[in-house]
Amino acid sequence: MINFLFTLLQSKAVSTSAERYLLIYMIAVLVIVTSLVILFFVVFQKRKNKLLLEKVKQQQNFENEIAQVQIEIQEQTLKNIGWELHDNVGQLLSFASMQLSILKMQMNDDDKDKFKDTSEALKQSLNEVRSLSRALNNEVVLNIGFEESITNELDRLNKMKFATAELVSRGQKIKFKDRKHEIVIFRILQEFLSNSVKYSEAKNLKIVLEYTNNHLLVTASDDGKGFNKESVKAGSGLINIKSRAKLIHAEIELTSEENQGTSLVLKYPFL
């Protein structure tokens, strides 16, 4: 009887031990399976995020390429217009000016005064065409320099209709990491100035260039009638400005209020 009880107790002890080991084994298997599921989920999520990031980068690269192509087409169009102005319109105006000079030589002094205003208008028109053709040609802009090109553009506009059009430069000048970026910023300023001429009814223009070690801060402003940004749709000019700024990784902000003028602030990173 005692031997039977002892054997029964031994059997229960073995059974309890086996159950304990079985429980530990099941827990271990569960932990491993759970860990594998978590690991699979993490790897899957990382892979998914990587694919999404690559897709976003591809989309950005595609958009940048489209913007680059559009800008190159615009630049080539401007260049062609510049050539046409210089070679065709400029030559026609030069020919008209020569013919007028010949005609004046054949007339007496009293009649010559009648052609004075016409002659001056032709000369001004010829100078305007030449200045505009230079401003539309990238090679000319790069040759004479970024700031000189802005000054020439402001001088041209100053002669047209503005009371003052000035350029202010502050800080130590730093070379652009890519000279094509000079063209991009110059075209942005041209777009702003063009809008000022067409829409703002401004009397004064000002462009400020502030050079720092890390960036160039460009501020262009006019004292025109301004506009309400909320009620005005973004036209091609503003779209061009933003797409060009994005292409050179520049931050840009356009502010305007009715009867308070318009200002454009561009921050271009040198690094």
**Which residues on neighbouring strands pair with residue 210, listed in sequence order?**
170, 217
Dihedral of CA atoms 239, 220, 80, 64 in degrees, nearest 10, equals -40
On the question of pLDDT at 15 being above 70, the answer is no
- What is the tens place of the pLDDT at every residue in 71-122? 665 665 666 566 566 556 666 666 566 666 766 666 666 666 666 767 777 7
Contacting residues for 71 by C-beta, under 8 A, at least 6 apart: 184, 243, 244, 247
Residue that wins the pLDDT comparison between 18 and 177 = 177
Tell me if 132 is assigned to some domain.
no
pLDDT over 90 (residue 44): no
pLDDT band at 218 (very low <50, low <70, confident <90, very high): very high
| Assigned domain for 129 exists | no
User: Does residue 199 form part of some domain?
Assistant: yes
The count of domains in the chain is 1
Predicted local distance difference test score (pLDDT) of residue 208: 96
Asked whether residue 12 carries a pLDDT value surpassing 50, the answer given is yes
In a domain, 59, yes or no: no
The reported pTM is 0.64
**Residue 43 within a domain:** no
Cα pseudo-dihedral 145, 151, 157, 163, rounded to 10: 170
Helix (H, G, I), strand (E, B) or coil at 263: strand
Residue 232 belongs to a domain: yes
Q: Work out the angle at residue 64's Cα, subtended by the Cα atoms of residues 61 and 65, and round it to the nearest 5 degrees.
A: 85
Residues facing residue 164 across a β-bridge: 204
Six token digits for residue 201:
């009814």
Q: Is residue 117 part of a domain?
A: no
Residue 215 confidence (pLDDT) above 90? yes
Distance between CA atoms of residues 8 and 14, nearest Å: 10
pLDDT value at 9 more than 50: no
Question: Is 97 part of any domain?
Answer: no
- The per-residue pLDDT of the chain, averaged, comes to 77
SS3 207: strand
pLDDT of 135: 72
The pLDDT-based confidence of 137 (bands split at 50, 70, 90) is confident
Tell me which residue range forms the domain holding 220: 162-271
Give the pLDDT band (50/70/90) at residue 178.
confident
Domain of residue 189, CATH code: 3.30.565.10
